[in-house]
Amino acid sequence: MNNLPKNWTIATLNDVAKLTSGGTPLATKKEYYENGTIPWLVIGDLTDSFVECSEKYITEIALKESNAKLLPIGTLLIAMYGSIGKLGITKIECATNQAIASIIELYGIDKFFLFYLFLYKRPFLMQLGKGGTQKNISLAVLNSLEIPLPPLAEQGRIVAKIEELFAGIDAGVENLKSVKNQIALYRQSVLKSAFANQTKKEMLKNFIIEINYGTSEKTNDDASGIPVLRMGDIQNGKLRFNKLKYLKKITDKKLLLQKGDLLFNRTNSAELVGKSAVFNSDFVCSFASYLIKVRFSEKLNSDYVCFYINSPYGKAWAKTQLTQQVGQANINSQKLQALQIPIPTLVEQERIVAEIESRFERADALETAVDRALNDAEKLKQAVLKKAFSGELVPQNPDDEPASVLLARIRAARAAEQRANPKKGKRK
């Protein structure tokens, strides 16, 4: 911020804003939550956009007897814990917990200018986080944050330009997301077509030589151990290996994978139970308890089975087999073994697999290009913000009141206000 335009200056957030934080009414007092009518926000309610609702509510008495505060519509919010820098602007009267800072007054700075500035500074704010498992920043850290301050009129022009450019980027992003949805539909149509004319069916158990649940041992991040595949490692019919957990050792060989083993996700949300992938690697690897390992005889191609399970036919079967347990669905190994699938000759299975893989390769290439474009869109937004807060996004107007004059007036007015209204004792 050393090379700012002539009419800009450096201020602290404390110069231009008044901040407060919320509070959490005692969870043990039913009267604080039961039949509550006041929206009470937590960090999960912040989505870098307008906040129009909440999942939790508190009562009037909770508001009176805690540090929670009723915030007016239009309050700018910023997360101080965990997802540091997450933002929201209220479209409802609400309260927040203590993990959210609320900007309740602004002096000489446009609210949306500050919103986009926080969006730009989020990586920096996250670096300021302190603590153990959940990093956090304090109100003091926010108050001392140095910010670039343009003339007030220029702030409005910057916001207008950002929103114009972001609207164009967002329209492009929506088009790209639509393409991704079409790719997903295309994959399902390929799978549906591949198995459409197959009539002769047999149960899987006739071709299974080994079937096991995975390990329930606690894993860790020590990469010197044995990697363990978990249900989250199955993505779109493939295994990912970039977020592995590990075990020190495996004593039961049934918990080790061999090339060609099918992994079936037996427990998850209803729409994700049954997602499957084939282990086609040569390194030593295990699998977690929510997965079922299936090893087939040489008469059945595991990739063929995997494609069938992930097809519309396999998904329809899974819906009929689900057992709901405490918010999660389950399909056990007995039900999986009873699955009937079309079994053509091994040569025909391999031909079908090759055709599917050929078509999926083209879809994968397109999806990779789309993902790259989506990533570029986010980078483009950051480039826009960088230009905005270095004074390069819109031209300066020499007739604008210099920000230094504005800041001096704000400081003088706030100092006079403090002298006239000295701080009251802190709320207990």
pLDDT the model gives residue 428: 33
| 401-411 mean pLDDT | 95
Closest CA to 85 of 47, 111, 39: 47
CA-to-CA dists, residue 53 to 37, 45, 92, 231, 301, angstroms: 12, 8, 7, 32, 50
Q: How confident is the model at residue 2 (pLDDT cuts 50, 70, 90)?
A: low
The string of pLDDT tens digits covering residues 379-404 is 999 999 999 999 999 999 999 999 99
Please say if the pLDDT value at position 1 is more than 60.
no
pLDDT the model gives residue 11: 97
Please say if the pLDDT value at position 95 is more than 50.
yes
Average pLDDT, the chain: 94
pLDDT the model gives residue 262: 98
The string of pLDDT tens digits covering residues 183-192 is 999 999 999 9
Are 363 and 187 a contacting pair, CB within 8 Å? yes
The separation between the first and the last C-alpha atoms of the chain, rounded to the nearest angstrom, is 40
Please say if the pLDDT value at position 427 is more than 60.
no
% of the chain exceeding 90 in pLDDT? 90
Count of Cβ atoms closer than 10 Å to residue 295 Cβ: 17
Structure tokens at 213: 């649940």
Dist CA 260 CA 280 (whole Å): 5
Q: How confident is the model at residue 423 (pLDDT cuts 50, 70, 90)?
A: low
| 47-75 mean pLDDT | 95
The string of pLDDT tens digits covering residues 96-128 is 999 999 999 999 999 999 999 999 999 999 999
Are 80 and 142 a contacting pair, CB within 8 Å? yes
| 292-318 mean pLDDT | 96
pLDDT the model gives residue 33: 96
Dist CA 229 CA 215 (whole Å): 10
The string of pLDDT tens digits covering residues 132-154 is 778 999 999 999 999 999 999 99
pLDDT the model gives residue 34: 94
Beta-carbon contacts of residue 172 (< 8 Å; ≥ 6 apart)? 373, 377
Closest CA to 280 of 255, 303, 259: 259
pLDDT the model gives residue 123: 94
Are 293 and 261 a contacting pair, CB within 8 Å? yes
* pTM recorded for the entire structure: 0.79
